[in-house]
Structure 1
């Protein structure tokens, strides 16, 4: 019987929750392998094909596939078995990585091959994210969700840190090694996922059968349901707008800081250390997020992160040494998980299970859009204004969501879990009929 699943999850401490550990390990591997690929593919394209334009097109294929698949992947996560989605994505990525490694080894790599592999990587990641995030509340109890999300933030930072380190190191030894590493890790993830149990989802057979006979008009309604849900919920709508603006500005800042370091003839090793500081800051911040989340009100946690991040940018503009700039950016990376934990916990607990995949898919598309626009924006600002003025423009862009969040009556009234308890009432917005009809 499924009625005891919630009691089962709550009764097991997170440290002994086998399913959470399996999910965390496999998705940590996914973060690491993606970071290795993102670091290595432009180097490989330049080394084998000798074309910066080709490297740019490969990046476009990766991001484009991720954005194109984001919303349908949310529908998929709500209609199909989430474990099967994770298994399918891990298997497809294993084949893609292995094929690239074999082609490089045999000196037979072509541009279309690399382009297809990048598109597969982007699409698989887009499908993995909503399935994994929607499954998390099924694996852990509601009282453990904040801690689990903080550990997931640590997973992202750890993947970035190790991915940058191993990707560059292995590529320096052999062009085949990064793809060999990725192929092995994703294959192991596939095997580990076979032992994962995701309990508590009502009538998976019905939802899967229903997915096979969805009329086209209903499919399009389902596709846009995640976006409609974001728009209809005041807190989710406000925090999403602020997050997109901040992510776009932050990715622009990273490009500007890296290009400024290159203009200063900074050794590539030092630039790598500067970027590694971001991973260290994010990892430490994720480990501290649960404690800070309990100490700070939701309003202070969210607005505080936005304002501190905004005020750090002018300091980065005046930072003369790349490591100083990296240290300042690491402070921003340290405080970000506290706000993320507050926001995502609210989103997942407010949203019914039948909608969580589409919510995560919509949020993934928003984040991906910001991530795609940010580097282009940073490059244009850098070329037109120079590094310091470009960073000041980014600070002004970040100031807008900072002011909006600080002055928002909706955010001032936001009480986090207390609002969730009210929303779960008989007349609250968690009634699934309002979303599915």
Structure 2
């Protein structure tokens, strides 16, 4: 097993993350994978709403509720399997777990592409493949998130997280745009491109050199390890506050699920416009990530995280009121930029406040909070849209996110008291 870079002292800690070969492979793999999955997801959301409206004759409010069901069917496996995925990431080769997850997504993209080409799409089929995509994400997230800190020295981790966010966010810009435009050319084309990019991603992950396994007692029963991970987060008020803040803010303030409604029936810009709107938050996030990659945040990081979540909620509410595409896109860019500040601070602090032997389980719990907020947020948005309309649902959710931020600032003073990214654990 290779000695860690930091322990060997072979490479100075001041180097950029991309100076490390394995991190470069990781970075490109993440970039290709996110383009593929974001392209897949944006087309999947469009098809669910369009099939509900066109083939099933549903009203806009009832079809919007189907988008909520789309989120729910991805949440069910997420809720059941997330604790298991964390233990798997800590006990087994994280590269292998990530590769198997990507291969699962290749099956999903292939199935969706064939069903689209043969024109046999139904809502049950779309929901089933969406659930399988959710399973792949459950195991992919903890494996990749806990792998990244092992590829660079501890002092480089905040910059590595920002550089990793560049891959994610700029791919998130390209993915929806490519998906929307490719779908307009040939409906099955986005899925064909997704299969190619996912295969490339799997190959790059497999090429990463073996890393030192975390010091974890393999004789301990996996159920006890799951309990230990939950207990660790529950008793660490900083980790609990950071993870739960994201959970409730995005649960209320998520606007993504209802974008097909705005694209088709409110702004009337079609799948291409939907691609622009899905890409707009990533534009703002990518610019912020690029800034942090060269000039990382260093002071008052906790307060800045709280402010960013509040701005995220306010931007969400403004989007709900907008009836002009350019204004909507501009607000989504601001929303994405604010979200990136929050993600950068939270991910950096969570990674640096977690020992390596716990990173898989803590990453899985953090991923559960993020994904649960996304998927349950979609369900909440779908139900709210069915009751008070898409505009009301988005405005209400944005206001709720601002309120959650105020409550968490007082309930978890550890968040606003976080001044720097000083690591609590040194591997």
Which interval holds the TM-score relative to the shorter structure? 0.7 to 0.9
Q: Structure 1 residue 395: deviation in Å?
A: 3.8
The SS at the match of 2:297 is: helix
Q: 2:361 aligns with which of 358, 361, 385?
A: 358
The partner residue of 1:83 within 95, 116, 119 is 95
Counterpart of 2:417? 413
Shift of 1:243: 0.9
Q: What is the Cα deviation at residue 35 of structure 1?
A: 1.4
Q: Identify the residue that residue 74 of structure 2 maps to in structure 1.
A: 62
Which of 357, 379, 386 is the matching residue for 2:382? Answer: 379
Aligned mates of 1:424, 1:316 — CA distance in 2: 41
Q: Shift of residue 202 of structure 1? A: 4.9
Deviation at 1:33, TM superposition (A): 1.7
State how far apart, in whole Å, the 2-side matches of 1:399 and 1:114 are: 34
Is the 8 Å Cα contact of residues 67 and 126 (structure 1) preserved in structure 2? no
Secondary structure of the equivalent of 1:361?
helix
Is 2:202 the counterpart of 1:190?
yes
Aligned partners of 1:71 and 1:223 also within 8 Å: yes
Change (3 A) 1:358 1:8: farther
Q: Provide the residue aligned with 1:285 in structure 2.
A: 288
Once the two structures are superposed, residues 231-264 of structure 1 have per-residue CA deviations (whole angstroms, 9 ceiling, x without a partner) of 111111112221112111221x445566456544
Pairing 1:141-220 to 2, within 5 Å after superposition: 141-202=153-214, 210=218, 218-220=221-223
CA spacing shift, 1:403–1:195, aligned 2, 3 Å: same
SS at structure 2 position matched to 1:294: coil
Picking from 256, 259, 268, the partner of 1:266 is 268
Aligned to 1:435: none
| Matched residue, 1:129 | 141
Match of 1:37 among 37, 40, 45: 40
What do the CA deviations read for 1:117-173 (whole angstroms, capped 9, x no partner)? 433321111101101111111101111111111122222222322221121222233
> Following the alignment from structure 1 to structure 2, what is the Cα–Cα distance between the partners of residues 390 and 119?
24
2:55 is aligned to 50
Are the aligned partners of 1:42 and 1:55 in contact in 2 as well (CA < 8 Å)?
no
Higher relative contact order (CA 8 A, sep 6+): 2
Q: How many residues align?
A: 413
Residues 37-57 of structure 1 show CA distances to partners (whole Å, capped at 9, x for unaligned) of: 222235556669935789766
Distance in 2 of aligned mates of 1:30 and 1:325: 27
Evaluate the alpha carbon distance shift between residue 13 and residue 69 of structure 1 in structure 2; reply closer, same or farther with a 3 A threshold.
same
TM-score by length of 1: 0.82
Q: Distance in 2 between matches of 1:103 and 1:256?
A: 24
Matches of residues 288-327 of structure 1 in structure 2 within 5 Å?
288-290=291-293, 293-294=296-297, 296-327=299-330
In the TM superposition, what is the alpha-carbon distance from 1:76 to its structure 2 partner? 0.1
3-state DSSP of counterpart to 1:98: helix
Native 8 Å contact 2:321 2:395 kept in 1? no
Worse-matched range after superposition: 367-376 or 37-46:
37-46
Counterpart-to-counterpart distance in 2, 1:328 and 1:109:
34
Report the alpha carbon displacement of residue 402 of structure 1 after superposing the two structures with TM.
Answer: 2.2
Does the residue aligned with 1:242 lie in a helix, a strand or coil? helix
What TM-score comes out, normalization by structure 2 length?
A: 0.84
Q: Which residue of 2 aligns with 1:335?
A: 338
**For the aligned residues, what is the CA RMSD?**
3.2
1:328-356: CA deviation from partner (whole Å, max 9, x where unpaired): 23112113222322221121122111110
Q: Is the contact made by 1:245 and 1:401 (CA closer than 8 Å) also made in structure 2?
A: yes
Give the C-alpha shift of residue 79 in structure 1.
0.4
Change (3 A) 1:424 1:336: same
Task: Note closer, same or farther for the CA distance 1:412–1:364 as it changes in structure 2 (3 Å cut).
Answer: closer
Distance between the aligned counterparts of 2:169 and 2:266, measured in 1?
27
Instruction: Please tell me whether residue 224 in structure 1 is matched to residue 227 in structure 2.
Output: yes
Whichever of the two has the greater Rg, that structure is: 1
| CA 133–262 in structure 1, closer or farther in 2 if over 3 Å, else same | same
